[in-house]
Amino acid sequence: MEKGMKDHAALAEAFINDEERVDWHDGALWWIRQKRDIASKQIPEWEDLRETASRIKNNVLSNLHDYLLQFEANATLNGIKVHWAADAEEHNAIVYSILKDKDIKQMVKSKSMLTEECHLNEYLIERGVDVINSDLGEYIQQLDNEPPSHIVLPCIHKRKEEIGEIFHEHLGTEKGVSDPTTLTRFARRHLRDVFITRRAALTGVNFAVAETGEYVVCTNEGNADMGAHLSEVQIASMGIEKIIPQKAHLGVFLRLLARSATGQPITIYSSHFKKPREGQEMHLILVDLGRSRQLGRVDFRDSLKCIKCGACMNTCPVYRKSGGLSYHNTIAGPIGAILAPNLDMKKHADLPFASTLCGSCSNVCPVKINIHDQLYQWRQVIVREGYAANTKVLGMKAMAWTLSSPTSYSTLGKAGRWVLNNIPFAVNNKFNPWYKQRDMPDGPKESFDVWYAKNNGHDSEKD
């Protein structure tokens, strides 16, 4: 962790202090997980789809160079202007140069986690460009000056009453109004004017087809379509891992994406963009931003299969109880915890430890990423590279010494039992992280070894 920066545990503690919020955050996400389970069981070939998607992505990662060049060539033939960006700085500079060339000072943007990674909004605002997020959840987060806390559900951590207060403060709704339908209708009226007046629109990319040079954007609100179809300049920002080889493969991924994300059969809008309409400019920016480096990490390359469905977040007990903002990274949850250390191992050294390693994330991943295995492997890398917290390193060394010596194990076990039974306040205090959320158990009267020695003969005779 960087000096002075709060780690996941500290940020999660602030979230956990609001017990009511934690309970409904946990319940809402688990409800979505249950919807995913119901939807997946309605398709007999669900596991075949997961396996097929995983193999397609394996093929893409093994031949990424060729597929990117094929996509660029076909997109260019279609009339799309293709740009390449190595990092966030290059990506943001390209977007700004496109807008500057057209003297555009206002832009509407649909959901794009990549632009959140690049901090595009802040970059453009500093240069006099007004940017409005048109996805309702991201729009709420933008008004409240917070990043998204979830890939699919950006403001899942907010109560409807809090959203009502945000709308009252920034949009002038009547104070005390918190009905979701009323607030949504008000936001729609406000955003409709934004769509009509913005000359430029930016979208993310869910899938890009190398075979045809087109890309697909999946939304439930239609905001990406509104912006793209009404704009003079259309820009798409895309991570290089979003490639799929053929258009026929879309059928596999589209069936998996919505069911995994929200339990829907398919997203309401799955929009294909292939070429600009007459009089319109269409730009697409292919962005690396650490993805090539991750591709070169044998143990972690499969993380690039991710289709950003959020299923691992919805099922993760740690994410559900700690909230997305506690991960101090654009992508939260289990998938974020294996992507973030690749970008900055020191800054994000705590995230792979924010997991029980229960494996639920891997079980629900639609492209079969071994997320919990990678979390465990990142822990080993972080410790080996010297980025683990000193307390954790010293604790592990002490435990290794204790467990490697029967004498020390027995002696310290006796001491521990005596402390728990005679001076429990030595353990049950605020300096023990486990005690903050749990009641420590009473100390046993004897060790298992002693119990076994006393009872083994009796059990044997009984058998």
For the chain, report the end-to-end CA distance as a whole number of angstroms.
55
Q: Is a pLDDT exceeding 80 seen at residue 187?
A: yes
Tell me the residue type at 165: E
Gap between the Cα atoms of 183 and 167, Å rounded: 8
Domains of the chain by residue range: 1-37+300-388, 43-289, 403-456
The distance from CA 306 to its chain's CA centroid, rounded to whole angstroms, is 10
Gap between the Cα atoms of 130 and 124, Å rounded: 7
State the pLDDT at residue 150.
97
Query: What tens digit of pLDDT does each residue of 351-388 get?
Result: 999 999 999 999 999 999 999 999 999 999 999 999 98
- Look at residues 77, 91, 78, 95 and name the one whose alpha carbon lies nearest to residue 234: 95
- Look at residues 201, 200, 309 and name the one whose alpha carbon lies nearest to residue 264: 309
Q: Is a pLDDT exceeding 50 seen at residue 246?
A: yes
What separation in angstroms does the CA of 219 have from each of 25, 95, 111, 152, 156?
23, 22, 8, 10, 17
Gap between the Cα atoms of 408 and 389, Å rounded: 25
Choosing among 3.40.50.10420, 1.10.287.130, 3.30.1650.10, 2.40.30.110, the CATH entry for 43-289 is 3.40.50.10420
- What pTM was computed for the model? 0.90
Gap between the Cα atoms of 76 and 185, Å rounded: 39
Lowest-pLDDT range of 96-105, 218-227, 356-365:
218-227
Gap between the Cα atoms of 355 and 297, Å rounded: 21
Pairing assessment for the beta strands 214-219 and 269-273 based on DSSP bridges: antiparallel
State the fold for domain 1-37+300-388.
Fumarate Reductase Iron-sulfur Protein; Chain B, domain 2 (1.10.1060)
Per the document, the length of the chain is 463
State the pLDDT at residue 454.
86
The residue with tokens 């030595």 is: 426
Mean pLDDT of all residues in 398-414: 90
Query: What tens digit of pLDDT does each residue of 112-164 get?
Result: 999 999 999 999 999 999 999 999 999 999 999 999 999 999 999 999 999 99
